[in-house]
C-alpha cells in the first residue's frame, strides 16, 4: 500500500501504551490477552485488501477444468446458432485461472465483504445483528427451498402452514388483528399500509389529500406516502426529538388522511405521549401508520396496537433473523386492525379443519403487492427464529438490545455529545458538538477512521434534526467486550485528532480505496468495468 508508513505510525501511536515492551520490565503486570475483543490489543488493522478482477490476472494458459474428449462424433444439431452468431476471437481475454487460483481469488473476495460475522456493525436504525445459522439451515431444507410457488394447495401444506403460523405469531407480537406477508421489503410494507388507509377512507367516501410525517422520519416514509397518491406535510420535532403535539393538533384537519410515525423514533426515544397522539388523529377521522424499523427494541415489551396504532410494517430482516444489508433479501409484513383487514392483499392463507388453503375471496382487497407470497426464505427464517427464542427469549432479546445501547451511551457520554437527555430506548444518537476541538475533525472523519479499526461506520448525519449526527445501534448480539473495543476505538480516534488530525481527516488508510467523491459517485456512478480502465475510475 502507498501509505504503509502511515499505517505503522498509526499503530505505534494507538498501541504503544499497551505494547508488549511496556510490560517487559514488570513481571507482576498482567499481560493483555491476544483477543480480538480486548481493547488493550486494539490497533488499526482494517479489514479490506485489494483483489483484482479475474479478468485482470495475466494470461497464463491455465484452466480450472479438465474435460475428456467426446466419445461420440460431433453432429451439428438442428437449430444450432449460425456461425455469424458464434464468438471466434477475443477468447484469450477470458480469465485463465487454475482451480487453485480461482479458489484463492474468490476466498480473498469473500474477505472484502463487510459483515456482522467479522465485527460490530453499528448502523443505527438498521439493526445489523448476528442471526443464528440454524435458521439458514431450516430455510435451505429441500422441501422448503425447492417448493414451487405454483404448487396446488394440497401439495404445499407445509409451506402454507409456515405462512399461517408466522402471521399468527406476528399478530400476537404486535397486537394487531390481521396481516399480510407479501411485502418484500420495509418500504413496500410502508406502501401497503398507506394503501390500506387510502382504501378505508375511499370506502367512507372521503378524499383526504395529505399525510403528516415528522421531520425525523425515515426517508422512505414520505416516499411511500407520495407513491400512494398523497401529499406530505412535515411535522416539527421538539428539542428532545419527540413529536410536537401542539403542531400535530394545529395541522390535523379534515384534509389529512393520517400520520406516519416511528416509535421508538430515530433518536431512540419512545413517544411518551403516544396515546394522546392517537387520540388527536383518530378524533379527526385519520389513521396512524407505525414504522416498525425499530421493533427490535420492544418485542415482548410493548405492542403497537395497544398504543392505538392502526397499521404497521415489520422488517423481518432486521428483527427476526435474516441477515440485513447488501440490498436484500428482505421482508416487510404489514399488520393492521380489524377495520383495515378487508383491504389487505390477496391471496390470504386460511386454516380450515387442520388444512390450509389460499383464499382469493376479498372483494375490497387492494390486490397483490408482490408476486406470490413475498420472500418465502425470509419468512421461514423468521418463524424459525421466533419459535427458537419463544416469548421469554424474544423479550430478553429486546431488553439486552436496549441495555447495550445505554451501555454505549454511558461509556461514550464524556467523549461524544449525546443528542438528547431523554431515555435511550433503541439506538443512541450523538452530535458533533465539541468534536472539532479534537484537531478540527468531523463526524465523517470519525466514521472513516473507524474503518481502520475494523468497524463498519455507524449511521452518520441522520436524523437531520441533529447536527453532525452519529447514530449507533449495538443490538443485543454484541458482547460487552466488543462494546468496550468500540469505545476504545473512539477514544483512540479522538486522541489521534489531538495529536495528528490529518491522520483522521485522510482516513481510511487500510482500505484499498481512500475517500471517494460521494457526490460524484451518486450523480455519475461507473457501473461497468472495461479493460484498461484506470484503477481510480473502476
Task: Let me know: does 381 contact 131? Beta carbons within 8 Å.
Answer: yes
| Residues 305, 292: Cα–Cα separation, whole Å | 12
Q: Using the predicted structure, report yes or no on whether residue 25 has a pLDDT greater than 50.
A: no
Task: Let me know: does 22 contact 515? Beta carbons within 8 Å.
Answer: no
Work out the mean pLDDT of the chain and round it to a whole number: 87
Bridge-based pairing of strands 210-214 and 178-180 is unpaired
Q: Which backbone phi and psi does 478 adopt, to 5 degrees? A: -90, 130
- Give the tens place of pLDDT for each residue, 429-452: 999 999 999 999 999 999 999 999
Q: Which residues contact 58 (CB under 8 A, 6 or more apart)?
A: none
Residue (of 50, 113, 46) closest to 323 by Cα position: 113
Q: Is the dihedral of CA 313, 314, 315, 316 positive or negative?
A: negative
Degrees to nearest 5, angle at CA 91 with 88 and 93: 150
What percentage of the chain exceeds 90 in pLDDT? 62
Q: Using the predicted structure, report yes or no on whether residue 531 has a pLDDT greater than 80.
A: no
Residue 12: pLDDT band (50, 70, 90) is very low
Task: For residue 420, give Cα distances in angstroms to 208, 268, 406, 428.
Answer: 35, 10, 13, 9
pLDDT at 22: 35
CA 171 to chain centre: 23
Task: Let me know: does 521 contact 442? Beta carbons within 8 Å.
Answer: no
Structure pTM?
Answer: 0.85
Residue (of 314, 277, 350, 349) closest to 193 by Cα position: 314
Flag the least confident range among 68-82, 208-222, 262-276, 470-484: 68-82
Domains by residue range for the chain, with CATH: 134-389 (3.40.640.10), 398-514 (3.90.1150.10)
pLDDT at 325: 62
Amino acid at each position: 500500500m502507498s501509505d504503509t508508513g502511515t499505517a505503522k505510525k498509526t499503530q505505534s501511536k494507538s498501541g504503544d501504551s499497551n505494547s508488549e515492551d511496556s510490560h517487559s520490565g514488570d513481571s507482576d503486570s498482567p499481560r493483555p490477552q491476544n483477543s480480538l475483543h480486548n481493547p488493550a490489543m486494539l490497533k488499526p488493522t482494517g479489514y479490506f485488501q485489494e483483489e483484482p478482477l479475474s479478468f485482470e490476472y495475466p494470461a497464463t494458459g491455465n484452466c480450472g477444468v479438465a474435460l475428456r474428449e467426446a466419445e461420440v462424433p460431433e453432429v451439428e444439431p438442428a437449430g444450432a446458432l449460425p456461425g455469424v452468431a458464434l464468438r471466434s476471437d477475443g477468447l484469450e481475454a477470458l480469465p485463465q485461472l487454475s482451480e487453485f487460483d480461482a479458489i484463492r481469488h474468490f476466498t480473498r473476495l469473500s474477505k472484502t465483504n463487510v459483515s456482522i460475522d467479522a465485527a460490530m456493525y453499528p448502523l443505527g436504525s438498521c439493526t445489523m445483528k448476528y442471526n443464528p445459522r440454524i435458521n439458514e439451515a431450516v430455510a435451505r431444507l429441500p422441501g422448503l427451498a425447492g417448493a414451487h410457488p405454483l404448487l396446488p394447495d394440497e401439495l404445499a401444506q407445509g409451506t402454507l402452514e409456515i405462512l399461517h403460523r408466522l402471521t399468527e405469531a406476528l399478530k400476537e407480537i404486535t397486537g394487531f388483528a390481521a396481516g399480510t406477508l407479501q411485502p418484500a421489503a420495509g418500504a413496500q410494507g410502508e406502501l401497503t399500509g398507506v394503501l390500506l388507509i387510502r382504501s378505508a377512507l375511499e370506502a367512507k367516501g372521503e378524499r383526504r389529500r395529505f399525510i403528516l410525517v415528522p421531520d425525523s422520519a425515515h426517508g422512505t416514509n414520505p416516499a411511500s406516502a407520495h407513491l400512494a397518491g398523497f401529499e406530505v406535510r412535515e411535522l416539527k420535532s421538539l428539542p428532545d426529538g419527540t413529536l410536537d403535539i401542539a403542531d400535530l393538533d394545529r395541522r390535523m384537519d379534515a384534509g389529512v388522511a393520517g400520520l406516519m410515525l416511528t416509535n421508538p423514533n430515530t433518536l431512540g426515544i419512545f413517544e411518551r405521549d403516544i396515546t394522546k397522539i392517537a387520540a388527536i388523529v383518530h378524533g379527526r377521522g385519520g389513521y396512524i401508520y407505525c414504522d416498525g424499523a425499530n421493533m427490535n427494541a420492544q418485542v415482548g415489551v410493548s405492542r403497537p396496537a395497544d398504543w392505538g396504532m392502526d397499521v404497521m410494517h415489520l422488517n423481518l430482516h432486521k428483527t427476526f433473523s435474516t441477515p440485513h444489508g447488501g440490498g436484500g433479501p428482505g421482508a416487510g409484513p404489514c399488520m393492521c386492525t380489524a377495520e383495515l383487514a378487508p383491504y389487505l392483499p390477496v391471496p390470504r392463507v386460511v386454516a380450515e379443519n387442520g388444512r390450509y388453503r389460499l383464499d382469493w375471496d376479498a372483494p375490497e382487497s387492494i390486490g397483490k403487492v408482490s408476486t406470490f407470497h413475498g420472500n418465502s426464505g425470509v419468512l421461514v427464517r423468521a418463524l424459525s427464529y421466533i419459535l427458537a427464542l419463544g416469548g421469554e427469549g424474544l423479550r430478553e432479546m429486546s431488553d439486552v438490545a436496549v441495555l447495550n445501547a445505554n451501555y454505549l451511551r454511558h461509556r461514550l457520554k464524556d467523549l461524544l455529545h449525546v443528542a438528547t437527555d431523554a431515555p435511550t430506548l433503541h439506538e443512541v444518537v450523538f452530535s458533533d458538538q465539541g468534536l472539532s476541538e479534537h484537531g478540527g475533525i468531523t463526524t465523517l472523519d470519525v466514521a472513516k477512521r473507524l474503518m481502520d479499526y475494523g468497524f463498519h461506520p455507524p449511521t452518520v448525519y441522520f436524523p437531520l434534526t441533529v447536527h453532525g449526527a452519529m447514530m449507533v445501534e449495538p443490538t443485543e448480539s454484541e458482547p460487552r467486550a466488543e462494546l468496550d473495543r468500540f469505545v476504545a476505538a473512539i477514544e483512540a480516534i479522538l486522541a489521534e485528532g489531538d495529536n495528528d488530525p490529518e491522520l483522521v481527516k485522510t482516513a481510511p488508510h487500510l482500505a484499498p480505496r481512500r475517500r471517494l467523491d460521494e457526490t460524484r459517485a451518486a450523480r455519475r456512478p461507473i457501473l461497468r468495468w472495461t479493460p484498461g480502465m484506470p484503477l481510480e475510475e473502476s
